[in-house]
Amino acid sequence: MRVLVYGAGIAGLTAALELARAGARVEVADPRGPGAGATSRAAGIVTLQMPGALEEWAMEAIEAYTRLGAARRVHGVVVAPRPCVERLLSERLVASGLAGGLTASEASRLVGHEVRVPEGWGAAYTLDALVDVGGLVSALTARLEALGVSLGRRAPSPYEASLGGYDAVVVAAGAWTPAVLGVEPREIAGSSLYNCEASSVALPEGSRQEAILYVESGVDAAYSVPEAPGRAIVGDGPNNVIESPLDAAPTPGAVYQVLETLAEAAPAYLDAYPTASWAAPCLITGDGLPAVGEWVEGIYILAGLDGYGLMAAPALARLLAHNITRGTPLPGWLDPHRRASPWRGEGPPPEPFRGCS
């Protein structure tokens, strides 16, 4: 079976890997080269603090990236209203030692600076992972080359590609997916485009940042990532909807909102100052769940990965590759046409990821 994959971001690279493993002859086409889109901008967080299927997918991502030598385990400390903390501590994670409750002083020790837990809030940890994104793209590219997958820079349209004799085409072009398909973003499960963004901040002298710190205020989520002692990456500001995937510019206002949110629980952030901001366009579906499956005969989508593409890609790529090569059905709630067609799966669809608000 010959398969052409559009896009060499985390979605396209993992899809190509799974397809090649399933025995397909795979070509990847990306005009910008591997990891040039949102993937190159990702902070590298893979957190188990995700509901339902997303928790499973994050676990699979941690295993896959660790095997590729591109991930290391790190504590994720969440400070949030108590019901939110309880929801995050799934029975399975707690039983397997991957998550647990924390006192404020335990949270402070893990993070490396003082963490306050306001009245009615709680603290917990999960054993998350930080990914070296550049290392991951290189490791995946090397694996693909070893499997005989060709990585090219041309970008034929899917229509021409199907005429060119491919058995299947996978469009994994991130925010460019609607353009590659020649449709409006909303036609793909009610999607829109927005800037995923992050900023690097310097903490006050003497502060360290040793664990990922997530603070949920009920309005938005904030996180920080250890980059170097005294440095952190903060992100997850309010979504900034954009009209065109090429219109990706950081919105410097968001970093101050994130720092304010963090400072509610971690006073060190009161004196943190931004050193750099960056952003890239992401595609988010109307319900926040990815869009994975057949678009028209022989042409498949793996997109809508929002701000959690590193966490979801390996599992979704495996599901899609098995669907293409073995006919294994995909869950109806991933259907890229789901806004236009009624819900077709068994039982209710999983809860979309909306943080703890």
User: Residues 66, 128: contact at Cβ < 8 Å?
Assistant: no
- Does the protein bind ligand FAD through residue 87 (CB under 6 A)? no
- Does the protein bind ligand FAD through residue 173 (CB under 6 A)? yes
Single-letter residue type at 342: P
Q: What is the 3-state secondary structure (H, E, C) of 39-54?
A: HHHCCCEECCCCCHHH
Q: Which of 3, 4, 7, 316 binds ligand FAD (CB under 6 A)?
A: 7
Q: Which of 2, 21, 25, 36 binds ligand FAD (CB under 6 A)?
A: 36
Q: Nearest Cα to 125, choosing from 229, 211, 22, 187?
A: 211
- Does the protein bind ligand FAD through residue 68 (CB under 6 A)? no
Q: Which stretch binds ligand FAD (CB under 6 A): 31-39, 73-81, 82-90, 137-145?
A: 31-39
Q: Which is nearer to ligand FAD, 90 or 277 (CB)?
A: 277
- Does the protein bind ligand FAD through residue 194 (CB under 6 A)? no
Q: Which of 38, 93, 242, 259 binds ligand FAD (CB under 6 A)?
A: 38
Question: Which 269-288 positions form the footprint of ligand FAD (CB under 6 A)?
Answer: 278-280, 282
Which H helix or E strand runs over 123? strand 121-131
User: Residues 248, 279: contact at Cβ < 8 Å?
Assistant: yes
Q: Which of 176, 194, 269, 300 binds ligand FAD (CB under 6 A)?
A: 176
- Total residues binding ligand FAD (CB under 6 A): 43
- Does the protein bind ligand FAD through residue 197 (CB under 6 A)? yes
Q: Which of 17, 310, 320, 321 binds ligand FAD (CB under 6 A)?
A: 310
User: Residues 352, 203: contact at Cβ < 8 Å?
Assistant: no
List, in sequence order, the alpha helices (H) in the chain.
10-21, 38-41, 52-67, 82-88, 91-95, 104-111, 133-146, 158-163, 177-181, 253-265, 309-326
- Does the protein bind ligand FAD through residue 235 (CB under 6 A)? yes
User: What does 314-351 look like in DSSP terms, one character per residue?
Assistant: HHHHHHHHHHHHH-PPPPGGG-TTTTTS---SSSPPPP
- Does the protein bind ligand FAD through residue 199 (CB under 6 A)? no
- Does the protein bind ligand FAD through residue 303 (CB under 6 A)? yes
Single-letter residue type at 69: G
Site residues, ligand FAD (CB under 6 A): 6-12, 29-32, 36-39, 41-45, 155, 172-176, 180, 196-198, 235, 278-280, 282, 303, 305-311
